[in-house]
Chains A and B, each alone.
Chain A
Amino acid sequence: KAGVTQTPRYLIKTRGQQVTLSCSPISGHRSVSWYQQTPGQGLQFLFEYFSETQRNKGNFPGRFSGRQFSNSRSEMNVSTLELGDSALYLCASSLVLDSRIYNEQFFGPGTRLTVL
């Protein structure tokens, strides 16, 4: 079974631009979460989608948004990029078996975003 894929793997943008990152989960996984990873802050939760609905959101400004399509693929968008947005953006998919338990996250390789 193919793993989680993310595109693009690397991206260089300038301040003020916007960017869209894509994530394809493992087949059959309907939950997709996004994380920002930086050396100083570690892994920070951005948002989680299940069946095209955002179920939870982390403490990020409204410039960060996402969506999920009917095939469970997900995209996240960052508008008006700032230097501090430079990070590794990780997507993770999960098989939801029991809504009371957060299941194992399968991470993709990430998109390395550099904002100049």
Chain B
Amino acid sequence: GQQVMQIPQYQHVQEGEDFTTYCNSSTTLSNIQWYKQRPGGHPVFLIQLVKSGEVKKQKRLTFQFGEAKKNSSLHITATQTTDVGTYFCAGTNSGGSNYKLTFGKGTLLTVNP
């Protein structure tokens, strides 16, 4: 079945440093979503990418969807302590059922002030 791999599993940075998490799918995706889960909280939707090669920005966050629609990345510029949490990518298999999101295992980001 579809697998979504996410790396790294953990990332610790100093405040002000940049951070990137990568997501790779074993199959072509129709779309990919990114979520953030704060410690003790629930996942909160950040963004959805649909088009091949798409790049979207939200303030210090930049999201990319690969040309082959099999990989994606989230880059945070100049991290802040408010960025702490686990970042998940989630993809829907292209050509298959559109009713199932497969989540990566997430990247836990910690920021040292």
A79 in the interface, Cβ–Cβ < 8 Å?
Answer: no
Chain A: number of interface residues, binned into ranges: 20 to 34
Q: For A105, what are the chain B residues with a Cβ–Cβ distance below 8 Å?
A: 33, 35, 43, 45, 90, 101
A-B CB contacts (within 8 Å), total count: 67
Measured CA separation A76–B60 after assembly (Å): 38
Size of the B side of the interface (Cβ < 8 Å), in residues, is 25
Partner of A45, one of B30, B101, B105, B106: B101
Interface residues of A (CB under 8 A from B): 31, 33, 35, 41-45, 48, 50, 55-56, 58-59, 90, 92, 99-110
Q: Are B48 and A104 in contact (CB under 8 A)?
A: yes
Q: Are A102 and B92 in contact (CB under 8 A)?
A: yes
Partner of A102, one of B35, B44, B99: B99
Interface residues of B (CB under 8 A from A): 1, 30-31, 33, 35, 41-45, 48, 50, 88, 90, 92, 97-106
17 extra interchain contacts, Cβ-Cβ under 8 A, other than A92-B43, A101-B50? A35-B103, A41-B105, A43-B43, A43-B88, A50-B99, A55-B97, A55-B99, A56-B97, A59-B1, A100-B30, A100-B98, A102-B30, A102-B98, A102-B101, A104-B48, A106-B45, A108-B42
Closest 10 A/B residue pairs (Cβ) = A42-B105, A43-B103, A55-B99, A56-B99, A107-B42, A102-B92, A56-B100, A104-B45, A48-B99, A107-B43
7 A-B pairs (CB sep. < 8 Å): A35-B103, A42-B105, A58-B100, A90-B42, A102-B30, A102-B100, A105-B35
Q: For B30, what are the chain A residues with a Cβ–Cβ distance below 8 Å?
A: 100-102
